[in-house]
Amino acid sequence: METLHREKVAVMGSGSWGTALAVLLAENGHDVALWSYRQEEAEAMAAEGENREFLPGIAIPKSIQITWDCEKALTGRQAVVLATPSSYLRSTLQRFKGHLERGALLINVAKGLEESTLQTLGQVIAQECPEHQVAALSGPSHAEEVSRKIPTTVVASSASRAAAERTQGLFMNEYFRVYTNPDLLGVELGGALKNVIALAAGISDGLGCGDNTKAALMTRGITEIARLGTAMGADFHTFNGLSGIGDLIVTCTSMHSRNRRAGILIGQGKSLTEALGEVHMVVEGVYTAQAAVKFMERYHVEMPITRTVYQVLYEELPIQGVMKNLMEREKKSEDLSWHLVTEHQVRWQEER
Ligand SMILES: NC(=O)C1=CN([C@@H]2O[C@H](COP(=O)(O)OP(=O)(O)OC[C@H]3O[C@@H](n4cnc5c(N)ncnc54)[C@H](O)[C@@H]3O)[C@@H](O)[C@H]2O)C=CC1
Ligand SMILES: O=C(CO)COP(=O)(O)O
């Protein structure tokens, strides 16, 4: 592996993902500050040398500066990793943007959509910090495995090639392989929307359905994600990549997945509040489902799995009605690719 260019990096958010990435960046030789939203979280991590609440068992190198003071975290740092849950992204940016170094690269690692504005997280960052370049790091990457150095691959995406490649260079090492991708919109949508499908996969498991059902949810899930994504202008191929189908696979099958675990509990009959309490960590799909329903209405696309999850969470659809909702829909053609479907339809019409 080529020698890394050492940078001063701030990781804003010390949940499981922020902590795992701060450890990785420090191991890559960077000078890292890790900012916590809660003072007691920062103090506990500093005293215990680990994040017992969100990432137990992983030693935090002493070289990492742990702080709850934004100014301390950001001063002199030219790369800033945004690792708060998506619903707190804007408030966190508003709180610290006055302390950002001029020209600092902002790298978002959260996965979600802002429901109140119907913006992607990249758009939220660009609106709050218009002077700064934005990148995203996304893909199948549970903190619990990355922090144990289990081989993982992700994508670094930005409208700016230089920003995507800089992000790639910051994170890449022998167990964390980073590809670049120029389709920021597609990367962000894949990462956000898969969480809703993971809730559905968990519900299916909780209901006692089988592997056939899971495979169907994953396959039809990526189809509906790509349907919305392409309607919004994303590249269809991105959904076949790590931040699309890759992340969907890991989150629908792994017991590390917070979204899948919440889904399992709901499928077993627990209420949303009970499920969220039990999982304890952020379950992004619960919020993304609300935004996704608004997006599908705005772009006139059908997303039956996403809509069904929304109905379970917010419209009291009985859990026993989930499979009926999906299986007894009207007959459809399998639309794996919009361009192919169009070609087939043209051919079929010509054959008539
Ligand atoms: N955990 C993982 O394996 C991965 C998580 N992500 C994404 O990273 C983002 C963060 O997730 P996790 O680290 O898992 O979260 P987490 O559930 O482990 O931690 C949540 C963090 O949010 C903080 N917090 C609470 N209230 C806040 C507020 N008002 N403002 C700012 N921060 C507040 C908590 O103190 C805590 O540090 C999410 O968007 C998630 O989808 C992405 C890839 C992997
Ligand atoms: O996005 C993630 C892993 O890539 C984390 O989300 P989940 O924990 O719900 O799978």
**What was the pLDDT predicted at 339?**
46
Verify whether ligand 2 is closer than 6 Å to residue 194 (CB atom).
Answer: no
What is the complex's ipTM, to 2 decimals?
0.99
Which ligand is nearest the CA of 89, by number? 1
pTM above 0.90, yes or no: yes
Indicate whether 191 and 157 sit together in one domain.
no
**What was the pLDDT predicted at 5?**
80
Indicate whether 67 and 172 sit together in one domain.
yes
pLDDT (tens digit per residue) in 109-133: 999 999 999 999 999 999 999 999 9
| pLDDT at residue 68 greater than cutoff 80 | yes
Which ligand is nearest the CA of 263, by number? 2
Whether 3 maps to a domain, the answer reads no
User: Which positions are catalytic?
Assistant: 194
Q: In whole angstroms, give the CA distance from residue 310 to residue 314.
A: 6
| Number of domains composing the chain | 2
Q: Which residue matches tokens 């964390």? A: 176
Verify whether ligand 1 is closer than 6 Å to residue 114 (CB atom).
Answer: no
Q: In whole angstroms, give the CA distance from residue 22 to residue 147.
A: 10
Whether 349 maps to a domain, the answer reads no
pLDDT (tens digit per residue) in 140-166: 999 999 999 999 999 999 999 999 999
Indicate whether 145 and 56 sit together in one domain.
yes
6 Cα–ligand 2 center, Å: 28
**What was the pLDDT predicted at 2?**
56
In 172-210, alpha helices (H): 184-207
Whether 346 maps to a domain, the answer reads no
Whether 249 maps to a domain, the answer reads yes
Do 278 and 165 contact (CB within 8 A), yes or no?
Answer: no
Whether 244 maps to a domain, the answer reads yes
Indicate whether 213 and 159 sit together in one domain.
no
Element (H, E) at 265: helix 258-267
Domain membership of residue 166 as a residue range: 8-182
Probe ligand 2: pick from 121, 142, 152, max atoms within 8 Å of CB? 142
